[in-house]
Amino acid sequence: MNSTELAREALPQRIKRKIKQGLGPWGVFFEGFLRNPVMVGSIVPSSRFTINRMLSRVDWDNCKLFVEYGPGVGTFCRPVLNRMRRDGMLLVIDTNPQFIEYLRRTIKDSRFVAVHGSAADVEDIVRAHGHEKADYVLSGLPFSTLPDGVGPAIAAATHRVIRKGGAFLVYQFTPKARSYMAKHFKRIDNGLEPLNVPPCFMWWGWKDEENEDAAAA
């Protein structure tokens, strides 16, 4: 192949790269959706209304470790870091290496850690980063399209890793995730955010101390 043919072959890649750079995080998010829609779930990042409502229940003064599953291009990451205490940690987990690379490159905050891995392994990942428990776990993973057994495994592992008094924060476009949560969390608050594309269900599953003690008795 001569130099002219090589240049022609490289042209579509250059065009694609320029388009993605022009779109910024939206371009990265869109490409991630096209590559793996089962794991991304939506073609559009969450709205600021969804972000503010989901995070409004967090006791930030007592949050040392906040975990997020499926952070994408960081739609929730920056709002979380803006609210988090100086000695806290935001630990995000994603199976998409493209998202993890983008987050590591664009978020320069010493409290931020991005891990390429599965949410089902959250206990091992949390321990590997110096913690025994998480205060809060946030998830926008599309539970309705996850492979068989993965959703229940994530819900169970999440319940185990959250400290008493903490919560599992979930936003979804179908109600399936709530059934997984209800097997472990005795108190679940419900919400619906219409100002999102598409409108989304929201749940806060609380690991109440009294319920945990009663279940153990």
What averages of pLDDT result for each successive group of 10 residues across the chain (217 residues)?
Answer: 50 53 52 51 74 97 97 94 98 94 96 98 98 97 90 97 98 92 97 92 90 53
Measure the CA–CA gap between 47 and 51, rounded to whole angstroms. 6
> pTM (2 decimals)?
0.81
Instruction: List alpha helices for the chain, DSSP H.
Output: 3-23, 25-35, 37-40, 48-55, 77-83, 97-106, 122-128, 150-161, 176-182, 209-216
- At what angle are helices 25-35 and 97-106 packed, to 10 degrees? 170
Q: What is the pLDDT of residue 171?
A: 95
The pLDDT value recorded for residue 7 is 46
Query: What residues pair up with 162 in beta bridges, in sequence order?
Result: 134
pLDDT at 41: 47
**How many CA atoms lie within 13 Å of 78's alpha carbon, on the beta-carbon side?**
11
